[in-house]
Chains A and B, each alone.
Chain A
Amino acid sequence: MAKPSIAVHKFSSCDGCQLAFLNAGPDLLKLAELVDIRHFLEAGMADEDAKVDIAFVEGSISTRDELTRIQQVRANSRIVVTIGACATAGGLQALRNLDGRHEEWKHAIYAQPDFIQTLDRAEPVAAHIEVDFELWGCPVDAAQLLAAVQQLLFGVSPLDVRDKVCAECKRQQTICVIVADGQPCMGPVTRTGCGALCPRFGRDCYACYGPSENPNTAAMGQALAGLGLPPADIARRFLFINSQAPAFHRAGLAHYRAGFADE
C-alpha cells in the first residue's frame, strides 16, 4: 500500500503555522517516513498541483489569485485541514473587513500601493471551500497538529477539543490572572490547545485560539468592563486575531465603533 500523501499550502499568512511542522524535531523525521510529503515549500518540496490525501492550508483568502488556488487545493485533496487563525478565522489581516477602508489603509501604509493586489476582505478558507477539519491558534500547537495527523492516518476524525483555556490553567495549577491580578484574560471564552501558555507566564490570554464552545461573550465583555477596559479595548480583545469567528465577531462589534483606531 502506498504511503498517504500530504501537502502543506500557504496562503496569506506569516508562515508561523508551517513552522509548527518544522519545529516538531524528531517527529518531523518520523512524519517523513509515514507519509509522502508532496508539497511543502518551507521544507523544500514543490509540487503545488499534486493530488494528495491530506492538504494542510495555512493563511486566509486575501488576494484574487488565492480565490482560484484554494479551489484547486480542494479539487486535488481528499481531506482539507486548515491550520491556524488566518486559515480558520481570517487572522490579523481580516481586521480590514471591519470598516471598509481597505483602499485608504493600503495607500497610508505602502509606498507603492499599486503593487498590492489584495481583495477588500480577507476571509477564512471555509468561506470558499468545504473544510474537513480546523486547527486553531496563532500559531497552531505542534503537538496538537501531529495528534491530528496521527488520527487522520488512523482513519478517524481528529478530536476537536473546544474546552476553555481555564480548564487547562487549572490542570496546570496556574493561578488565575483575572482573580489574583485583575488582568483582562480571555481564557473563559477561548478554546484551549496552547497549554495555557500565556497565563502560565503570568499574562492574560488574548484569545489567539478563537472561541471555545458555549462562550458567554456578553458576560465576558461585562467582566472586562468591570476590570476597567473601555469599549475600544473590549472590542480589540474579541476582534484582534480571530475577528471572522462568528462568536467573537458578534461580541467585538457590540463594543466596536468605526474610527476607534483614530482616537
Chain B
Amino acid sequence: MTATMPEQRFLPRESLQTLFDVLAERGYRTIGPVVLDKAIQYVELSDASALPTGWTDDQQPGHYRLTQVESPRCFAWANGPQAFKPYLNRSREVLWESRRDSEGNLEFVLPTPTDKPLAVIGARACDLAALALQDRHFLDQARDPGYAARRASLFSVAVHCTHPATTCFCVSTGDGPRATSGFDIALSELDDGYLVETSSDTGRALAAALPLQPADDEHNRAAAAEIDAVAQRQCRQLPSDDLRQTLFSRLDHPRWEDVAARCLSCGNCTSVCPTCFCHSERDQVELGGARSQHLREWDSCFSEGHGHLHGFQVRPETRHRYRQWLTHKLDSWHDQYGRSGCVGCGRCITWCPVGIDLTAEAHAICDDAIEPEDSA
C-alpha cells in the first residue's frame, strides 16, 4: 500500500468520452487499446466505445487468447504484444534521404516531422518503466531527433493494472502493478467509473476540463485493494532484480545449449520487449540511383546481422544469441543504464512461439548463486 495516496477524483464511466474529446480539442492524436486481429492493440481512436469493453485475456507461454465476459470494464486485461513503443521507437523509419541531380550533385535531406502530439490512453506501469529505459537510450545516450520530437509531446494516461496475465512478473522487477511515474494522468478502473490522479502540470490542466466528482472512501478502498491483489496473483519472478556478474560468470552453463535446442531464434521475444532498442540500418535505393532513403529498422540479437562484424560472425549459433539476449537484458544493462532491462511485462514468454520462459531460464542458470531470501 502506498504510504501517501495521491489525491484522487472520480470520473463516472459515462463521462469517459470527455477524456477523448478534451485530448482531441487540445490537438492530440490519441491512441488506445482495441481488439484487432484477435489481440489487444493500440491504434488511433477517438471514441471510448471502441475500447475493449468486456474483453479479457488468457496468456500462457506461447499462447494468447481473448475472451469476452460480462463486464462494463475496458481495461480488464494484461497487455497484448505491443503498447505504445512502436509509436515512439518506430519499427521502420527514414533517417535521411539523398538525391542526385543530373549533374551528379548530391543533396541530403532530413525528413520533416509532421506528427501531431501523441496521447496514449491505457499505459501500464510496465510500459511506463520501459518508456523510461527507451528514454535513457534514445535521449540520454545518443539523442535521436525523431524519437525526441515524438517523446517531447507525449501525453500519457496510465491505467493501474488489475488484471495481470499468468506470464506477468512486474511485482518481482519492482515496476508494477501501480504506475508511479512517467504519466500525466493515471486511472484506476472500477465498475462504475475511474479514479483519476494527476502527476504533471499538463495532466492537471487537462483533468480540470473533465467532469470530475469527489471520490468517496469506498471507491478509494476498492481501487487500492484491486491493485494490491495483483501481487498475490503473480506466480513468476526473476531470481533477483540484480543479476550483475551472475550471468556473466556462467557463460559456459549447460543450460545455454539446452535452451538453444528449443529456441527458434526468431526474435519474437526481442520484438515484443518494450525495452529492446536494437536496430539495423540500410539504404533503399530507387531504380536508377537518383534517390535513396536511409532506413532504420528494428533488429534483434537473434538475427545474423546483429552478430556480424566486418569479416566474421560473433554469434553464429542460437546458444550465443540467446545468451546475448539474457546477459544484456538482465546483467550488462545495469552498467549501461543503471538497472535491469526487464520490466516484468511477460511479453517475451507469451509471444515466444515455443513458449520459452525467461524467468525459468534465469532460474536454471542463476539459482545456485543466489541465497534464498529467508536465509539472508
- In the bound assembly, the distance between CA atoms of A218 and B303 in angstroms comes to 18
In-complex Cβ contact of B91 among A173, A175, A219 (8 A)? A173
CB contacts (< 8 Å) of B300 on chain A: these are 167
Contact A179 to B350, CB < 8 A, known contacts A166-B271, A202-B37, A214-B265: yes
In-complex Cβ contact of A180 among B65, B285, B317 (8 A)? B65
In-complex Cβ contact of A216 among B81, B263, B282, B288 (8 A)? B263
Q: Are B287 and A150 in contact (CB under 8 A)?
A: yes
B147 interface hit (Cβ, 8 Å):
no
Q: Are B289 and A176 in contact (CB under 8 A)?
A: no
Contact A163 to B304, CB < 8 A, known contacts A170-B271, A220-B264: yes
When C-beta atoms are compared, the residue in chain A nearest to B298 turns out to be A171
A146 interface hit (Cβ, 8 Å):
yes
CB contacts (< 8 Å) of A164 on chain B: these are 264-267, 303
The range of chain A's interface size is 35 or more
Scan residues 158-204 of chain A and give those whose CB is less than 8 A from a CB of chain B. Answer: 159, 162-164, 166-167, 170-176, 178-181, 185, 187-189, 202
In-complex Cβ contact of A188 among B39, B65, B266, B288 (8 A)? B266
- In the bound assembly, the distance between CA atoms of A27 and B62 in angstroms comes to 42
CB contacts (< 8 Å) of B80 on chain A: these are 175
Q: Are A175 and B261 in contact (CB under 8 A)?
A: no
The range of chain B's interface size is 35 or more
Q: Are B63 and A150 in contact (CB under 8 A)?
A: no
Scan residues 52-76 of chain B and give those whose CB is less than 8 A from a CB of chain A. Answer: 62-65
- In the bound assembly, the distance between CA atoms of A166 and B269 in angstroms comes to 10
- In the bound assembly, the distance between CA atoms of A213 and B306 in angstroms comes to 13
Contact A179 to B287, CB < 8 A, known contacts A166-B268, A167-B298, A170-B268: no
Q: Which of B36, B64, B299, B354 has the most CB of A within 10 A?
A: B354
Q: Is the interface of A mostly helix, strand, loop or mixed?
A: helix
Contact A180 to B64, CB < 8 A, known contacts A202-B37, A216-B318: yes
Q: Are B267 and A170 in contact (CB under 8 A)?
A: yes
- In the bound assembly, the distance between CA atoms of A30 and B317 in angstroms comes to 42
Min C-beta distance of B38 to chain A, whole Å: 5
Scan residues 337-367 of chain B and give those whose CB is less than 8 A from a CB of chain A. Answer: 350-354
Contact A149 to B287, CB < 8 A, known contacts A162-B304, A167-B267: yes
- In the bound assembly, the distance between CA atoms of A166 and B270 in angstroms comes to 11
Q: Are B38 and A188 in contact (CB under 8 A)?
A: no
A34 interface hit (Cβ, 8 Å):
yes
Min C-beta distance of A157 to chain B, whole Å: 14
CB contacts (< 8 Å) of B82 on chain A: these are 173
- In the bound assembly, the distance between CA atoms of A167 and B304 in angstroms comes to 12
Q: Are A175 and B38 in contact (CB under 8 A)?
A: yes
A31 interface hit (Cβ, 8 Å):
yes
Q: Are B39 and A180 in contact (CB under 8 A)?
A: yes
Cβ contacts A145-158/B at 8 Å (1 or 0 each): 01101110110000
CB contacts (< 8 Å) of B351 on chain A: these are 176, 179
B86 interface hit (Cβ, 8 Å):
yes
Min C-beta distance of B138 to chain A, whole Å: 17
Min C-beta distance of B91 to chain A, whole Å: 4
In the A-B complex, the 3 residue pairs with the closest CB atoms: A170-B271, A188-B266, A171-B91
Query: Residues on A close to B: CB < 8 A?
Result: 27, 30-31, 33-34, 146-147, 149-151, 153-154, 159, 162-164, 166-167, 170-176, 178-181, 185, 187-189, 202, 213-214, 216, 218-220, 222-223
Query: Residues on B close to A: CB < 8 A?
Result: 36-39, 41, 62-65, 80-82, 86, 91-92, 261-268, 271-272, 282, 284-289, 297-300, 303-305, 316-318, 350-354
8 A-B pairs, CB-CB below 8 angstroms?
A150-B285, A166-B264, A167-B266, A171-B91, A176-B64, A213-B304, A216-B265, A219-B262
